[in-house]
Amino acid sequence: MGTWGSGPFENDGAADFVTNARAMPAPSIAQALLSITQSAADDYLDVDDGQAAVAAAELVALGFGYGKLDDVAPDVRRLVKTLGPNEDLRVLAIRALPRILDLETSELAGLWEDDDEFEPGIRDLIARLTEAGD
């Protein structure tokens, strides 16, 4: 049975991403974010790609200290401590997240269209990533 929640680590796609990212956090995060930013503007984004990118972006924000480490699982905390702040990934995450909110091209946005927490959560993540660069 899969997990399903609007939080960045509350789904199977994110859990799989975190598991795979343990060996090489920065390259794994870059790959997840690049899969979004390098796709054509009209390409349809698969839910699994969206979930991985949201989890990756949250890891980046946490690496800068913008978020609540106490609210995440121990394996995520370890990953964040290994990653630390990474400016290149922060910029990449800020570019990727608006694509995930696009109802026309994002399966994840379509699945969460009627949820009151999904879009505000992504917008909060964008704001935290932006603030981390100030």
Residue at 1 is within a domain? no
Residue at 58 is within a domain? yes
* Domain total in the chain: 1
- CA angle centred on 81, ends 9 and 86, rounded to 5°: 90
The C-alpha atoms of residue 6 and residue 10 are separated, in whole angstroms, by 6
The residue behind tokens 């949201």 is 54
Over 80: is that where the pLDDT of 2 sits? Answer: no
Torsion of CA 34, 36, 39, 42, to 10 degrees: -160
Residue at 5 is within a domain? no
The one-letter code for the residue type at 95 is: R
Contacts from 106-110 at CB under 8 Å and sequence distance 24+? Answer: 106/44, 106/45, 106/50, 107/44, 107/45, 107/46, 107/47, 107/50, 108/45, 108/47, 108/50, 108/51, 108/54, 109/50
Residue at 68 is within a domain? yes
Predicted confidence (pLDDT) per residue in 10-55, tens digit: 998 999 999 999 999 999 999 999 999 999 999 999 999 999 999 9
Reported pTM: 0.94
Task: Domain of residue 87: give its range.
Answer: 12-132
Predicted confidence (pLDDT) per residue in 60-87, tens digit: 999 999 998 888 999 999 999 999 999 9
Predicted confidence (pLDDT) per residue in 94-134, tens digit: 999 999 999 999 999 999 999 899 999 999 999 999 999 88
**What integer pLDDT is reported at residue 78 of this predicted model?**
92
